[in-house]
């Protein structure tokens, strides 16, 4: 019998923490909309629009952390450039949303976005055509990060670049893209990027129902992303990927095409990050070149390390924990946040090398031994 036919029962048997995570995700996806739409604003249990948007943003970050954990935790590829894939997916969605503004923009041009009118552009660039159609924009959400990862990975893995050298190259990639997107003549809004979105599929983004629909879609996408990642690492190909992480030279000597396995995992991870970026933009309401910043990619690695590398659910937990702490500290003690983030990473590396998930697993192991 093919492995895919008994995947879910096997998952329930071997991935109890993952099932707990999926149950919590399902509860969150149901409860948050109910608390926002059903519970009156006068109630202490009411979930405000700000809170819904914030939790939705955390879920998109969790998808990004999931993508990084797949390549780092299971394949041993420490990518410091996944912010580029996240931002490309976000820009693809942003281009669609900008095309939906039409005559409601500041300058009232039915075709050109406001920033192009301001910069005296006379016609729409060729690479903007098609983004007035939702299906085309969603195709670009997948293709833009996927093709970049395919081209980059093909050259890097074929050249057998590994370790810290590969990490530096991925960081250089996202930094180069950030510099390019900052240029006004690139046609992506320059410093300001895209904002002031109006509609999505003909519905107003400011509508509570649309925001809830985006939140639910993000929760479903995160759940599907987790299941796909778990299926990958549990498959035969996933075991080969893990073997590459642990002993790449030995795996190559046995006869496996190491570069091919690395490449398809890297491309899938990039696509997952791009989908996360596409869901991030309509909820937050802005996308700019700052999303390409190398510091963003480094932060994602910190989320995964704190949550627990090589667990998937730990990466999700790390993304939520760190970003919640960031939200609180940047409000209460904004000048102390970066120091706290660095301290969290150092302490995790020294005291919890397997992250929060590893701490929980060690505790369960002690209970069984007792």
Q: Angle formed by the axes of helices 7-14 and 208-234, to 10°?
A: 90
pLDDT on residue 352: 73
Region at 76 (left for phi over 0; alpha for psi -120 to 50; beta for the rest): left
CB 7 within 8 A of CB 15: no
Cα 136 to Cα 269: distance, rounded to the nearest angstrom: 21
* Antiparallel, parallel or unpaired: β 203-204 and 194-195: unpaired
pLDDT on residue 266: 96
Helix (H, G, I), strand (E, B) or coil at 333: coil
Nearest to 132 by CA among 183, 175, 95: 95
pLDDT on residue 74: 92
pLDDT on residue 3: 47
pLDDT on residue 5: 46
Cα 62 to Cα 312: distance, rounded to the nearest angstrom: 10
Q: Which residues of the chain have pLDDT under 50?
A: 1-5
Longest dimension (CA), the chain: 75
pLDDT on residue 6: 52
Helix (H, G, I), strand (E, B) or coil at 207: coil
pLDDT on residue 304: 93
H helices of the chain, in order, are 7-14, 16-37, 49-73, 82-99, 114-118, 134-158, 163-182, 208-234, 236-246, 248-254, 258-284, 294-307, 313-332, 337-351, 355-369
Six-digit token string for 216: 């639910």
CA 359 to chain centre: 25
pLDDT on residue 161: 87
**The dihedral of CA 212, 218, 223, 228: what is its sign?**
positive
For residue 50, what are the contacts with CB-CB under 8 A and spacing of at least 6?
none
Q: Angle formed by the axes of helices 16-37 and 49-73, to 10°?
A: 160
Six-digit token string for 98: 């900008």
Helix (H, G, I), strand (E, B) or coil at 327: helix
Taking the complete model, does pTM exceed 0.85, yes or no?
Answer: yes
End-to-end Cα separation, the chain, in angstroms? 39
Region at 276 (left for phi over 0; alpha for psi -120 to 50; beta for the rest): alpha
pLDDT on residue 29: 94
């Amino acid at each position: 019998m093919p492995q895919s036919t008994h995947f879910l029962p096997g998952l329930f048997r071997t991935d109890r923490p993952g099932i707990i995570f999926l149950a919590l995700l399902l509860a969150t996806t149901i409860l948050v909309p109910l608390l926002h739409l059903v519970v009156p604003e006068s109630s202490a249990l009411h979930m405000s629009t700000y809170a819904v948007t914030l939790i939705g943003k955390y879920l998109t970050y969790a998808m990004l952390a999931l993508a990084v954990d797949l390549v780092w935790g299971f394949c041993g590829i420490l990518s410091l450039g996944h912010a580029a894939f996240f931002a490309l997916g976000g820009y693809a969605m942003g281009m669609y949303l900008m095309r939906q503004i039409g005559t409601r923009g500041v300058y009232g041009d039915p075709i050109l976005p406001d920033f192009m009118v301001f910069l005296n552009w006379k016609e729409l660039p060729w690479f903007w055509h098609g983004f007035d159609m939702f299906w085309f924009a969603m195709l670009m959400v997948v293709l833009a990060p996927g093709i970049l990862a395919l081209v980059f990975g093909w050259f890097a893995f074929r050249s057998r670049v590994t370790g810290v050298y590969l990490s530096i190259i991925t960081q250089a990639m996202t930094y180069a893209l950030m510099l390019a997107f900052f240029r006004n003549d690139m046609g992506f809004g320059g410093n300001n990027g895209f904002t002031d979105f109006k509609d999505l599929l003909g519905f107003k983004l400011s509508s509570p129902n649309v925001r809830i629909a985006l939140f639910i879609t993000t929760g479903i996408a995160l759940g599907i992303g987790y299941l796909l990642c778990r299926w990958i690492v549990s498959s035969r190909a996933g075991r080969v990927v893990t073997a590459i992480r642990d002993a790449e030279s030995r795996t190559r000597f046995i006869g496996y095409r190491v570069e091919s396995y690395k490449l398809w995992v890297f491309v899938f991870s990039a696509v997952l990050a791009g989908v996360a970026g596409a869901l991030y933009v309509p909820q937050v309401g802005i996308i700019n070149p700052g999303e390409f910043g190398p510091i963003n990619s480094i932060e994602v690695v910190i989320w995964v390390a704190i949550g627990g590398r090589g667990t998937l659910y730990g990466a999700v937990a790390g993304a939520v924990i760190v970003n919640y702490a960031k939200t609180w500290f940047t409000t209460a003690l904004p000048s102390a946040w970066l120091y706290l983030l660095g301290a969290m990473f150092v302490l995790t590396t020294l005291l919890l090398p397997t992250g929060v998930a590893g701490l929980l697993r060690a505790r369960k192991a002690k209970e069984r031994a007792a």
